[in-house]
Amino acid sequence: MILRKALRLPLVLVVVTFLSFLLLNLLPGDPALQILGGSATEEARAQLRAQLGLDDPLFARYASWLGGLLTGDLGTSYVTSIPVLDALADRLPVTLELLVAAELLALALAVPLAVAAARRAGGAIDQGLTTLSFGLLSTPVFVLGVVLILVFAVKLKALPATGWTDFSVDPYWNLLSVLLPAVTLAAGQLAVYSRLLRTDLIATLQEDYITLARARGLSPRRILWRHALRPSAISLITAIGLNMGALIGGTVIVETLFGLPGVGRLIVESIFARDYLTVQGGVVLISVGYVLVNFAVDLVYAAVDPRIRRA
């Protein structure tokens, strides 16, 4: 299975980058005009067209663009005159910190909740968790973020509403500034993970080896954590990878809402500044990152389930 995925990886990457590349072709009218704006001279536009190779055949353009991508050249923004790669590298750490914090928060809460719910399926904790996750699943990120800001920043004044403090500047303030955004992002993941894990745990608990573990006089706690959790975690791990897409989409909104200087906000700002090369670069970065994360998740499988290692 791993081998098949490894063989497919390059294909997926080609498709993903090709689609990102095609984005520029969606621009209505003359792309050079759109990129440079109405005030640009005819020579400048002709030069850009030549540079972007807009007059060449599509695949030739893609090949040269891909070559640039592989050598780390995503072009230079016509709006800010900053190389796109530098702008992205500058913003990436913030987004990564946000993603990791949200993911850890979601898992740290989802696993114990799912275990407690599966132990007594249909019990009070289980029903509470079902209701909670249903509510969280139905709360769009921007709604939850707005409500959290309203409660914790505006009313209680306990946390900063917006803004970012770098970890190297002040670790404590850094944690405070990532807290609300991370909670906002984590909520939806928490709902997905806990429901999924709970269902898989309940299925695992019907297995013979669990019945035999009970017959050996092991405690419910031990059976759940040591015997049932790992065989049940497979779909959870897949979900972590697949949900990364939703999570990254969420960062765009959360970074905008909380004013964090991450990749997502860069993309949104660039859209409004008509800085199309930066938008394109951000999309490539995110989609390639997403594909790679999912591939890494498949590798984690093998560590969790020895049966897969064979393949």
Partner 1 sequence: MPRRAALRRLGWGFWASAAWVVLLVLAAALADLLPLHPYDRTLAGPPQSGPSPAHPFGTDGLGRDMLSRVVYGARVSLGVGIGAVLLGLLIGAPFGLVAGYRGRLTDAVIMSVNDIALAFPALVFALAVVAFAGASMRNVLIVLGVLGVPAWTRLIRGATMAFAGREFVTAARALGARDRRILWREIVPNVALPASSYAFIGMAVAVVAEGGLAFLGLSVQPPTPTWGGLINEGRNIMETAPHVVLAPSLVLFVTVLAFNLVGDRLRALTDVREIGLEPGRRRAALPPLPAAEHDVEPALLQVADLRTHFETARGTVRAVDGVSFALNRGRTLAIVGESGSGKSMLIRSILGLLPAAGVRRGGKVYLEGREIGDLEPEDLREILGTRFAAVFQDPMTALNPVRTIGAQVMEPLRVHLKLTRAAARARAADLLASVGIPDPVRMLKRYPHQLSGGMRQRVTIAMALSCDPDVLFADEPTTALDVTVQDQVLRLIHRQREERDMAMVLVSHDLAVVAQWADEVIVMYGGKVVERGPAAALFEHTRMPYTEALLQAIPALSDPSHKRLRVIQGRPPDLAAPPAGCRFQPRCPYARERCASEEPPLVRAETRDHLYACWYPLGTEAAAAEEAEIIEGTESRGR
CB of 249 to partner 1, least distance (A): 3
CB of 51 to partner 1, least distance (A): 19
Q: Quick one: 90 exposed, middle or buried, by C-beta within 10 A (0-12, 13-18, 19+)?
A: middle
3-state secondary structure at position 76: strand
Q: Between 89 and 304, name the residue whose CB sits nearer to partner 1.
A: 304
CB of 167 to partner 1, least distance (A): 25
Residue 250 and residue 183 in contact, taking contact as beta carbons nearer than 8 Å = no
Query: How many residues does the structure list for the chain?
Result: 311
d(CA 187, CA 185): 6
CB of 127 to partner 1, least distance (A): 8
Tokens of 7: 């063989």
Q: Between 48 and 141, name the residue whose CB sits nearer to partner 1.
A: 141
3-state secondary structure at position 268: helix
Q: What is the largest CA-CA distance in the chain?
A: 83
CB of 225 to partner 1, least distance (A): 12
Residues 6+ positions from 57 with CB-CB distance below 8 Å:
none
Q: What angle do CA 145, 151, 155 make, to 5 degrees?
A: 140
Q: Between 68 and 230, name the residue whose CB sits nearer to partner 1.
A: 230
Q: Between 172 and 272, name the residue whose CB sits nearer to partner 1.
A: 272
Q: Between 158 and 209, name the residue whose CB sits nearer to partner 1.
A: 209
CB of 78 to partner 1, least distance (A): 15
3-state secondary structure at position 121: coil
Q: Between 89 and 143, name the residue whose CB sits nearer to partner 1.
A: 143
Alpha carbon of residue 298 to chain centroid: 16
Q: Is the dihedral of CA 292, 295, 297, 303 positive or negative?
A: negative
Q: Between 93 and 259, name the residue whose CB sits nearer to partner 1.
A: 259
3-state helix, strand, coil in the chain (%, to 5): 80, 0, 20
CB of 171 to partner 1, least distance (A): 28
